[in-house]
Amino acid sequence: MTSDVSQLVDHLFRHQYGHLVSTLTRIFGLDNLDLVEDVVQETLLKALRHWPYHGIPDNPAGWLYQSAKNQALDIIRRNALFRDKAAEIARELEGWERHGAVTSLKDDELAMILACCHPALPRNTRVALTLKTVGGFGVAEIARAFLTNDTAIAQRLVRAKRRLRIESIVLEVPVDSEMPERLESVLDVLYFMFNEGYSAHSGANLVRFDLCEEAIRLVQLLILHPAGDHPVVHALAALMFLQASRLSARQTPDGQLLLLGDQDRTLWDCRLIDWGLYHLSQAGKGKKLTAYHLEAGIAACHSLAPMYELTDWPQILGYYDQLIQINPSPVVTLNRAVALSMIEGPQAGIKQLHAIQQQVPMQEYFLFHATLADFYRRAGLSLEARDAYQRAVQFAGSDTERRFLVRKLENLQ
């Protein structure tokens, strides 16, 4: 026992929640996910009532495990529903070892991630369910992260659980041949989760950062499991680490947005860049080139440039050319146009953007107008630049973005 608060690892409760839910759900079955969540919630409550008086146990995770196990045993003793399976469940629970911090991904958790990210569920649902049951996020936290209300998320979760039942989705690590498709669905969720956190359109930044952190934690856990240790998973990990390395440089202390060219590169987190490059090297071991590989490659080009002026634009353009083959979307074209303009000049960029301006969602996408404005500015077309910046302001999602654009607009004059 200790009264030292620092003994509590950051996010211990959140991570243990996911860990305990996964393990208990394997024992009780996905049908009893609600019951399992109640058990784990009650376990945390017990710690809340107990620890302030007794201090933090030497092995907090082990304490939570033991406590959850006792409560689960209690439930099967009292609940008639489990009478038939009581002996079996009790045996499994008794077999629980005492766990320390979660450093590896057990089959239970991998199975849980796979079930939450099942292709039969809509993407939004997959993300919410993963955050709730694997990530240990609360309903309100998920709602804040996705700028919606608690009721909407709660309903989404209820529907998700019903869907799991209807589709008879079971908790298991599928056979090797099914793994690529299932992994793809998981990576899609983690990529979305990370981007939601990274782009921080609006809302509380802290919650957003939590999303990035959770996406990175899960992708790392995936890699720790033999069934998840695929080159494409490494590619996504590389992309996340390289992007995350720049998080603290993207804003000034007073909250102003800074683009790549204006960032203080000494603020980039070298440790994360190293991790990113390591995963990128691992990503190259497969046969398949995915969008994650290419996006990570682009991110690496930026990470490796000692200054903006020395960015390897031809290499980046090459990656975008390949990316457009895989994912021919106007957003990719928009980003490619930036690289192109750095090589061939702003006029080339303007031409590209004009070609896609009628496509959805470009007209209402603030970055489209902001990028176009920047091209006009560089081409010396101040009037057009002002118009485009004004349109960008109109569609900006957050105050940070709006302030950034207004500043650009003022600098034009």
Residues from 99 through 138 that contact other proteins (CB under 8 A): 136-138
Least distance from C-beta 14 to other proteins, angstroms?
4
13 binds other proteins (CB under 8 A): yes
List 81, 101, 140, 259, residue binding other proteins (CB under 8 A): 140
Size of the site for other proteins (CB under 8 A): 28
List 1, 3, 38, 407, residue binding other proteins (CB under 8 A): 3
- Closer CB to other proteins, 44 or 169, in the complex: 44
Stretch of 7-15, 220-228, 352-360, 388-396 contacting other proteins, by CB under 8 A: 7-15
Q: What is the SS3 assignment for 251?
A: strand
Q: What distance in Å separates the CA atoms of residue 82 and residue 382, rounded to the nearest whole number? A: 73
Stretch of 54-62, 157-165, 219-227, 317-325 contacting other proteins, by CB under 8 A: 54-62
List 34, 38, 54, 167, residue binding other proteins (CB under 8 A): 54
List 108, 141, 196, 213, residue binding other proteins (CB under 8 A): 141
- Closer CB to other proteins, 33 or 372, in the complex: 33
Least distance from C-beta 122 to other proteins, angstroms?
23
Q: What distance in Å separates the CA atoms of residue 24 and residue 40, rounded to the nearest whole number? A: 9
Cβ proximity of 70 and 40 under 8 Å = no
56 binds other proteins (CB under 8 A): yes
157 binds other proteins (CB under 8 A): no
Q: In the block, which residue shows the tokens 């921080």?
A: 200
- Closer CB to other proteins, 135 or 276, in the complex: 135
Least distance from C-beta 260 to other proteins, angstroms?
32
- Closer CB to other proteins, 137 or 376, in the complex: 137
List 24, 111, 139, 247, residue binding other proteins (CB under 8 A): 139
Q: What distance in Å separates the CA atoms of residue 282 and residue 229, rounded to the nearest whole number? A: 10
CB neighbour class for 10 (10 Å; exposed up to 12, middle 13-18, buried from 19): exposed
> Pick from 282, 286, 279: which is nearest to 240 by CA?
279
For residue 378, the 8-state DSSP code is: H
Least distance from C-beta 395 to other proteins, angstroms?
33
Least distance from C-beta 22 to other proteins, angstroms?
14
Least distance from C-beta 55 to other proteins, angstroms?
8
Least distance from C-beta 1 to other proteins, angstroms?
11
Least distance from C-beta 282 to other proteins, angstroms?
31
Q: What is the SS3 assignment for 56?
A: strand
The whole-angstrom distance between residue 31's C-alpha and the CA centroid of its chain comes to 27
Cβ proximity of 107 and 173 under 8 Å = yes
Least distance from C-beta 286 to other proteins, angstroms?
36
Stretch of 1-9, 106-114, 370-378, 382-390 contacting other proteins, by CB under 8 A: 1-9
DSSP letters spanning 255-297: --B--GGGS-GGGS-HHHHHHHHHHHHHHTTSS---HHHHHHH
Stretch of 12-20, 215-223, 263-271, 388-396 contacting other proteins, by CB under 8 A: 12-20
Q: What is the SS3 assignment for 112?
A: helix
Stretch of 13-21, 88-96, 251-259, 399-407 contacting other proteins, by CB under 8 A: 13-21
Site string for other proteins, 24-53 (x = CB under 8 A): --------------------xx-xxxxxxx
Task: Provide CB contacts within 8 A for 342, sequence distance 6+.
Answer: 311, 313
- Within 10 angstroms of residue 277's Cβ, the number of other Cβ atoms is 17
Residues from 187 through 226 that contact other proteins (CB under 8 A): none
Per-residue tokens: 222: 């995936």
Site string for other proteins, 237-266 (x = CB under 8 A): ------------------------------
Q: Across the strands, what pairs with 56?
A: 2
Chain contacts with other proteins (rule: CB under 8 A): 3-5, 8, 11-14, 16-17, 44-45, 47-56, 136-141
